Structure 1
């Protein structure tokens, strides 16, 4: 759900930059602050930094046990399924009954790497959006020689 919201807000941010709509770009900037904060949090969580641990159930809001998909399905992971005698529905897999024998790369590093890549992609976009907002606000505040407000030309000249 969050990824869907992220895609929609990125599209709105691009639309706002092309159409010189300051409000859309500001909405994108606010979202990017949340997105950057979330990715920093995920990096700290999976690398056990800042007093938080990947073993806690903070990602599931303490409602259910959280397990990373990469824990069993990472690159080169070999897992062994134990017989599930206590389960009524055999079609439903039990994550506790799967033992991961070995992986090329541990799941916490994959999760942290994923968040770091998103940070490196998002930071230039955040800086560019700040530049666009400052450019748009400068256009809106210009005066002509008579002293009246000059209407912005709405030309996206910051792409040049």
Structure 2
């Protein structure tokens, strides 16, 4: 196995996608954004299948990863358009929380360099959380951080798609052959693997 092969590059890209998707999943959980949480969960599963397919030379799993990558890229374009208010979409809508809660992006109140002004509310002293917080300014607005997440995912997905196509074309023979005698047969090696 070559160090710079498409298979090694796909393995590296899958690992990077897992790390960045898990980071994104954590912040989506903090913001109670349920649609991204579900889509991120499927992304993790499909990237693990793609990683397994690349490591074990299973082209069917890599093909599943390829098909999911197209959907994942579409999702990231949709989220980018949502945060940019393109095509009649609005970042203030509750699409990402599925209308289940009034929550928004965690980065809206906790972005890098955000200064907040906390003041107690006289009418809410009996509530469990009596403080209201107003965000005054941030170094980088929250929607740009969310778009940056999408751009990183898009770049990794495009590279992953290209390398997965290379892996599928280089391993086009079906290595999951079974000869019904109880042995697995690998056609390219010409040997039987006994269990």
Q: In structure 2, what is the equivalent of residue 62 of structure 1?
A: 99
Q: Secondary structure at the match of 1:64?
A: coil
Task: Point out the more displaced range, 9-18 or 44-53.
Answer: 9-18
Q: In structure 2, what is the equivalent of residue 151 of structure 1?
A: 187
**Moved runs in structure 1, 4+ residues, more than 4 A?**
none
Q: Quick check: 1:36 aligned with 2:73? A: yes
Say which structure is richer in strand.
Answer: 2
Q: In structure 2, what is the equivalent of residue 21 of structure 1?
A: 58
Indicate which of 142, 164, 177 corresponds to 1:129: 164
Q: Distance in 1 between matches of 2:153 and 2:110?
A: 21
CA contact (8 A) 1:59 1:66 kept: no
Deviation for aligned residue 1:135: 2.7
Q: Secondary structure at the match of 1:60?
A: coil
Task: Name stretches of at least 5 consecutive residues in structure 2 with no aligned partner.
Answer: 1-36, 175-185, 191-195
More contact order relative to length (CA 8 Å, sep ≥ 6): 1
Task: Name stretches of at least 5 consecutive residues in structure 1 with no aligned partner.
Answer: 141-149, 155-160
CA contact (8 A) 1:79 1:99 kept: yes
CA contact (8 A) 1:36 1:119 kept: yes
Deviation for aligned residue 1:29: 1.4
Q: Distance in 1 between matches of 2:68 and 2:111?
A: 30
Q: Distance in 2 between matches of 1:10 and 1:127?
A: 14
Q: Distance in 1 between matches of 2:73 and 2:189?
A: 32
Taking structure 1 as the reference length, what is the TM-score of the superposition?
A: 0.76
RMSD: 2.4
Q: Distance in 1 between matches of 2:135 and 2:42?
A: 33
Q: Distance in 1 between matches of 2:130 and 2:63?
A: 45
Taking structure 2 as the reference length, what is the TM-score of the superposition?
A: 0.63
Q: Distance in 1 between matches of 2:156 and 2:120?
A: 43
Q: How many residues align?
A: 141
